[in-house]
Structure 1
Amino acid sequence: MSVIHILEADLELTGPAAVAAPEAHTVGSVLRPGLPLARDGWGHPHLPGTSLAGSLRQQAPPERRKGLFGDVDKESDASADGGRKAETTATASAVRVLGTRLTLPDDAPLTRRRRTAVDRRRAAAKATTLHDRELLPPGTEVTLWLRLDTAALTSPLIDEVIDLLSEWRPRIGGGRTTGYGRAEVVTVRHRAIDLSTPEGLRHWLTRGGPGLVDDQATVVHQRARRTGGAPDEPYLFGRALQFDIADSLHIGRGTHAGRPGRRSGVAVVLRDHEDTPLVPGSTWKGVLRARVEFILRSTGIGAVCSSVQDTASGSCGACVVCEAFGWTEHPGTAGGEGEPPESVGARGRLLFADSPVRDATVRVRHHVAIDRVFGGARDGSLYARETVENGRLALHIRHDQPVPEVVRAALVLALVDLADGTVGIGGATTRGHGTLAARPATADWLTAERQTAIRTLRAHRTPTPPAQPTEEVPV
């Protein structure tokens, strides 16, 4: 191997993203986010090369993943004493990840989003589930360096990896089913270093790190246009669903803005990097999952996650809802009696994107608690919150794997309930907030799909066994 090939790929985040490092928590770090960003030794945000290597491996065809990125095979052979002996055979990766570098956009600080789980029975926030995640802002530039060694300047392996990078749709970090981690490949540069020549050997020995890719590098891929982070996965229903805010909406950021001369601040709404009010993908996923579970339980479609399991965080991991929406292990399951679970969770097949609220009016509403004895305003109980009014938004539901038919049907009925006002989103839904109205095209589509969804659930309903007649016992 006398030729070293260095590939430099420039990526751009088209949405918020993060590789979390919960292990970074130490005693006294309670003021830090629950899921802080991974950082390097100097405290700067860092994107591990393993995260990008895993995403690139998934982009490769299954039959080529071992040849490009290596693998570990475990084989079981018969031993001399009649037992079985496991042997591990490891294949090294032909593609080496040398490192990454992050460059944040100007005047764009790191962002934080707070989330909480909802109790299925009380329909309110569940205790001890509030947490926040630190995120990289959209527009962050990521540079990735790869190395391949070959015996000649030209090689089919180099062409294969360049084609792989050119068609790569990076998905970085966690939260990919709720709109996080999308990026685009902007530029790919290739620099071949022939160690059999004095020039190549001098360049290899005197230059290092990013300096290996100099002005002799060739641009082998250039992004034609910025797509704005539009996902390439197909829509579950073949379209985006359009809604209007019927009354008002409040999805808080978990912080308060101070007001001069006032003792309390204003609970502000969540906004994106363009300062537009936002309905996050996690809100859509949580509300619709809870409603789908309710519909499937009510119609008797087999066994699905039940509200009695809501005493612990996590899901059953065995029903069609967990298959479509994903699941996490119950705390303490691995340490309990019986065999430990084979997995601590699975990523869902449904993908929910963030929904900016367009043409919105943001106002401040004041509230005060009522004194139960005197019937007037309670002293010291005045508070205020921002609300979003007169806006429109689009719901994007996509999927990267087939979704069970009954879940798709139940999701249609959940969207009908959302359009009818039976279900709301955000906070204070029992006090005039969170009601949506479907726009004409979406309303017509829901009306047409409703009967088909009902027929699908009826066809999959588990029949109730007839009651056994009681035998009369003579007295």
Structure 2
Amino acid sequence: MSVVHILQADLELTGPAAIAAPETTAVGSVLRPDLPLSRDGWDHPYIPATSLAGSLRQQAPPERRRELFGDIAGEPAPSADGMVPDAGGAIASPVRLLGTRLTLPEADLMQRRRTAIDRHRAAAKATTLHHRELLPPGTELAFWIRLDTEATESPLVDEVISLLAAWRPRIGGGRTTGHGRAELITVRHRVIDLTTADGLRHWLTCGGPGLVDDHASVVYERAQRAGGAPDEPYLFGRPLEFRIADSLHVGSGTFGERTGRQTGVAQILRDHENTPLVPGSTWKGVLRARVEFILRSVGIGPVCASTQDDTAGSCGACVVCDSFGWAARTGATATGGELPTAAGARGRLVFADSPIRDGSIKVRNHVAIDRVFGGARDEALWAEETVEDGYLTLHLRHDKPVPDLMRAALVLALADLADGMIGVGGSTTRGHGTLTAQPASAEWLTTERTTALHTLRAHRAAAPVPAPTREEAGA
């Protein structure tokens, strides 16, 4: 190969993202997050090229993935005479990702704390609180691709450039809760012809990012600076608008300074612009729990309870696990005492973070009551931040087709949310977390509720009647 093509692609994160490296946390450490960012040898945040290669391979048409990105475990390819070779089948990728470089904005790294909710107690589940680092939106990521050809113009190079132009990057974990979203900014192409003196001189005297110099041509540039990348389609064809009816507290797991005898103020979760928000993980957890309750209540199942204890857990087979995703049960909770063959699966639904607009932040003081004397307990004054009178938008999207049954159950769950039957965030049983739908969204929910009920009745009527148990038959 006498011609080297170097492509430099620049991405910008439009949401928080991370490639976690839990193996870097020392056992028993409480000073670093449970899921710290992957870092290079100089302790700088780092996104490995392997993550981008996997995303690009997924973007390519299935029939071209092997030829573009290689294969290590596929079926052996037929030879020219139509005979299948005896050994091999593995081929190297002609598309080589050389490396990545992150440029962080002025904002600090983001910190997120999350916990699971026990379905039986409706409270935080023990030993599930975890803390992770995230790259803030606005972080820029550059990476380089090398292609070797025999000519300065090649169909392979054109195909890779077209693949990049249509690419919708999603980096790292947490994609169904709004993490990892990115946009392609530019793609620059530098041709280095090693048969010429100038090309050979450039190849030998420059290295790394310096290979893409002022002689590179811009082959792709996004139309606008923000919001130009396509998003997954809305599940219901529209976002849903809500207003905080009382107050809302989604905690960040951090506390403000202590004053006097008062403990630190429990702070609300904020984004990189210091705006209060409801994270996508909260929407996902609240709606999943309600959908499970609705489907079990009307007798459509089996539907798991998505708790990981000795009696219930993510089954990986029901319609809820298929739509929301699932994680494998282990140990005694595995079916039949055997470990599952898969570690889990990503769901079809995508929940984005919801910044709260026009809300006022208040500090509410609380005190525990002494059960013997009936007065305030000494040293038990505490406080928390809440958001009141704000507005927020639920962006519920999907990247795969969602069954009609799940769509109907989600409509009913959202209607229950708008009616105040369930809440968002903490302390929903004492005046927090009640939302009301804005007029347009309330009208849509009222209209769709009838259709959703009809869908559930149809599925219930078509479901097979379970055989009676031995006790029922004897009765």
Kept after mapping to 2: 8 A contact 1:312/1:331: no
- Supply the distance in 1 between the matched residues of 2:334 and 2:304 (Cα, whole angstroms): 22
- Supply the distance in 2 between the matched residues of 1:437 and 1:30 (Cα, whole angstroms): 40
2:45 is equivalent to residue 45 of structure 1? yes
Residues 341 and 260 of structure 1: is their aligned pair in 2 closer, same or farther, counting only changes over 3 Å?
A: closer
- Supply the distance in 2 between the matched residues of 1:285 and 1:104 (Cα, whole angstroms): 29
2:209 is equivalent to residue 217 of structure 1? no
Kept after mapping to 1: 8 A contact 2:311/2:333: no
Counterpart of 2:153?
154
Residues 196 and 64 of structure 1: is their aligned pair in 2 closer, same or farther, counting only changes over 3 Å?
A: same
TM-score where L is the length of structure 1: 0.93
Any idea what the Cα deviations from partners look like across 1:153-175, whole Å, max 9, x if unmatched?
Answer: 00111111111112211100000
- Supply the distance in 2 between the matched residues of 1:277 and 1:58 (Cα, whole angstroms): 34
**Unpaired segments of 5 or more residues in structure 1?**
77-84
Shift of 1:369: 0.4
Kept after mapping to 2: 8 A contact 1:57/1:65: yes
Shift of 1:16: 0.4
Kept after mapping to 2: 8 A contact 1:74/1:87: no
- Supply the distance in 2 between the matched residues of 1:376 and 1:44 (Cα, whole angstroms): 53
Counterpart of 1:22?
22
Counterpart of 1:372?
371
- Supply the distance in 2 between the matched residues of 1:171 and 1:150 (Cα, whole angstroms): 29
Kept after mapping to 2: 8 A contact 1:12/1:185: yes
Shift of 1:24: 1.1
Pairwise mapping of residues 67-466 of structure 1 onto structure 2 (< 5 A)?
67-75=67-75, 87-106=87-106, 108-228=107-227, 232-261=231-260, 263-306=262-305, 310-311=309-310, 315-332=314-331, 340-461=339-460, 462-464=463-465
- Supply the distance in 2 between the matched residues of 1:270 and 1:231 (Cα, whole angstroms): 27
Q: Which consecutive aligned stretches of 4+ in structure 1 deviate over 4 angstroms post-superposition?
A: 85-88, 259-263, 307-314, 333-340, 465-472
Counterpart of 2:9?
9
Kept after mapping to 2: 8 A contact 1:183/1:229: no
Residue 255 of structure 2 aligns to a residue whose secondary structure is strand
Letter in 2 for 1:137: P
Counting matched residue pairs gives 463
Letter in 2 for 1:21: A
Kept after mapping to 2: 8 A contact 1:314/1:331: no
Letter in 1 for 2:357: R
Shift of 1:242: 0.5
When structure 1 is superposed on structure 2, of 397-406 and 350-359 the one drifting more is 397-406
Counterpart of 1:31?
31
Kept after mapping to 2: 8 A contact 1:75/1:87: no
Residues 303 and 86 of structure 1: is their aligned pair in 2 closer, same or farther, counting only changes over 3 Å?
A: farther
Residues 52 and 471 of structure 1: is their aligned pair in 2 closer, same or farther, counting only changes over 3 Å?
A: closer
Residue 321 of structure 1 aligns to a residue whose secondary structure is helix
Counterpart of 2:81?
none
Shift of 1:471: 8.8
Residues 230 and 246 of structure 1: is their aligned pair in 2 closer, same or farther, counting only changes over 3 Å?
A: farther
Kept after mapping to 1: 8 A contact 2:306/2:315: no
- Supply the distance in 1 between the matched residues of 2:230 and 2:19 (Cα, whole angstroms): 20
- Supply the distance in 2 between the matched residues of 1:229 and 1:180 (Cα, whole angstroms): 17
Kept after mapping to 1: 8 A contact 2:261/2:381: no
- Supply the distance in 1 between the matched residues of 2:430 and 2:474 (Cα, whole angstroms): 54
Shift of 1:464: 3.8
- Supply the distance in 1 between the matched residues of 2:225 and 2:163 (Cα, whole angstroms): 19
Residues 471 and 99 of structure 1: is their aligned pair in 2 closer, same or farther, counting only changes over 3 Å?
A: closer
Kept after mapping to 2: 8 A contact 1:313/1:331: no
Residues 336 and 322 of structure 1: is their aligned pair in 2 closer, same or farther, counting only changes over 3 Å?
A: closer
Letter in 2 for 1:153: T
Kept after mapping to 2: 8 A contact 1:74/1:88: no
Any idea what the Cα deviations from partners look like across 1:290-348, whole Å, max 9, x if unmatched?
Answer: 01011111111120103775448951101010000000011337999766422100000
Residues 307 and 314 of structure 1: is their aligned pair in 2 closer, same or farther, counting only changes over 3 Å?
A: closer
- Supply the distance in 2 between the matched residues of 1:124 and 1:334 (Cα, whole angstroms): 21
Shift of 1:466: 8.5
Letter in 2 for 1:272: D
Residues 86 and 150 of structure 1: is their aligned pair in 2 closer, same or farther, counting only changes over 3 Å?
A: closer
- Supply the distance in 2 between the matched residues of 1:348 and 1:399 (Cα, whole angstroms): 9
Residue 89 of structure 1 aligns to a residue whose secondary structure is coil
Residues 297 and 148 of structure 1: is their aligned pair in 2 closer, same or farther, counting only changes over 3 Å?
A: same
Any idea what the Cα deviations from partners look like across 1:218-257, whole Å, max 9, x if unmatched?
Answer: 1111121033377611111110000000000000000001
Residues 229 and 287 of structure 1: is their aligned pair in 2 closer, same or farther, counting only changes over 3 Å?
A: farther
Letter in 2 for 1:168: W
Kept after mapping to 1: 8 A contact 2:306/2:312: no
What RMSD, in angstroms, separates the aligned Cα atoms of the two structures? 2.3
- Supply the distance in 1 between the matched residues of 2:32 and 2:203 (Cα, whole angstroms): 42
- Supply the distance in 2 between the matched residues of 1:419 and 1:137 (Cα, whole angstroms): 31
- Supply the distance in 2 between the matched residues of 1:232 and 1:353 (Cα, whole angstroms): 11
Kept after mapping to 2: 8 A contact 1:427/1:433: yes
Residue 124 of structure 2 aligns to a residue whose secondary structure is coil
Kept after mapping to 1: 8 A contact 2:37/2:134: yes
Residues 336 and 318 of structure 1: is their aligned pair in 2 closer, same or farther, counting only changes over 3 Å?
A: closer
Residues 471 and 292 of structure 1: is their aligned pair in 2 closer, same or farther, counting only changes over 3 Å?
A: closer
TM-score where L is the length of structure 2: 0.93
